[in-house]
């Protein structure tokens, strides 16, 4: 049985079809549902095993990127999503979806550890890029040892495209930063082409993110947010230099992210499949 993935969309979402395609290639079925329908029928989410917040410009990024959708989630769907996570079901937020998740309390989430918290409310944000402009290009990434189920078995260095103007990950304070490291919640970092650390310097770190952070997970490892777009590199032909890749890969490395979640859901660990 294929896990069912809910692709949550709203006004301004524009990466929902690519995200659905990636999950379908990974072995899931998908259904795109508008936020208004989920607000009217929160129980719909119980029929799904995976939830995705795709990229785009939800509500035109008015106020701040992802902020309006984050407020809807926080005020109306907080308990529903917490129950979803408690049932062992994975959630991903890509680019604008990542911005949404960090502007709720779902990411980084309970960074104090199980049953404790060093800080309540929003504990991080995604601020304007240091360069002050929108960036649309490919970047190098490196996975970090983490509890994230989405980033298991990724290569030591790989490339994905980015496209954002507000991608600078900033923890609320030093205690949050230290907790993210100690709790192994930093899943991906920006790196140089050879896989060595970006060291906070552009262009390897494209936006000025603290500690080169490109993606984080919550304490369960189920909720994952990242600024790069894995759904835009699921086929080898999507790479800018695909004609020079020898031997050509069977798939784009982004597909591994979605396969990890699908395989996790198929394992039936609290996922109800």
Residues 118-131, buried b or exposed e (16+ Cβ, 10 A)?
ebeeebbbbbbbee
Task: Identify whether 229 is a catalytic site residue.
Answer: yes
SS3 state at 7: strand
Distance CA 113, CA 185 (A): 11
Q: Which of 15, 95, 148, 217 is catalytic?
A: 95
List Cβ neighbours of 245 (8 Å cut-off, separation of 6 or more).
236, 239
Q: Please provide residue 122's backbone torsions phi and psi, each rounded to the nearest 5 degrees.
A: -65, 130
Task: Identify whether 15 is a catalytic site residue.
Answer: no
Q: Do 221 and 149 contact (CB within 8 A), yes or no?
A: yes
**Which residues are bridge partners to 213 per DSSP?**
189
Going by C-alpha positions, the residue among 106, 81, 72 that lies closest to residue 219 is 106
Task: Identify whether 95 is a catalytic site residue.
Answer: yes
Q: Crossing angle for the helix pair 16-25 and 254-266, nearest 10 degrees?
A: 60
Distance CA 215, CA 206 (A): 13
Q: Which of 164, 166, 229, 239 is catalytic?
A: 229
Active site members: 95, 229, 231
């Amino acid at each position: 049985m294929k896990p069912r993935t809910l692709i949550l969309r709203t006004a301004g979402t524009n990466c929902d079809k690519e995200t659905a395609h990636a999950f379908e290639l990974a072995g899931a079925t998908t259904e795109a549902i508008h936020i208004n329908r989920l607000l009217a029928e929160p129980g719909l989410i119980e029929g799904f095993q995976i939830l995705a917040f795709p990229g785009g410009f939800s509500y035109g990024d008015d106020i701040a990127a992802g902020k309006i959708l984050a407020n809807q989630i926080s005020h109306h769907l907080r308990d529903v999503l917490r129950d979803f996570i408690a049932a062992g079901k994975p959630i991903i937020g890509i680019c604008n979806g990542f911005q949404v998740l960090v502007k709720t309390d779902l990411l980084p989430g309970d960074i104090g550890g199980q049953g404790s918290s060093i800080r309540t409310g929003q504990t991080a944000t995604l601020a304007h890029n240091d360069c002050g402009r929108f960036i649309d290009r490919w970047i190098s990434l490196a996975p970090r040892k983490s509890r994230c189920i989405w980033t298991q078995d990724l290569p030591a260095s790989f490339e994905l495209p980015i496209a954002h103007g507000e991608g600078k990950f900033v923890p609320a304070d030093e205690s949050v930063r230290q907790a993210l490291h100690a709790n192994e919640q930093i899943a991906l970092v920006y790196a140089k082409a050879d896989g060595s650390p970006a060291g906070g310097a552009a262009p390897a770190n494209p936006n000025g993110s603290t500690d080169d952070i490109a993606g984080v997970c919550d304490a369960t490892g189920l909720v994952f947010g990242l600024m790069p777009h894995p759904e835009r590199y699921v086929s080898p032909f999507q790479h800018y230099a695909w004609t020079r890749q020898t031997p050509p890969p069977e798939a784009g490395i982004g597909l591994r992210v979605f396969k990890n979640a699908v395989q996790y859901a198929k394992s039936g660990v609290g996922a109800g499949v």
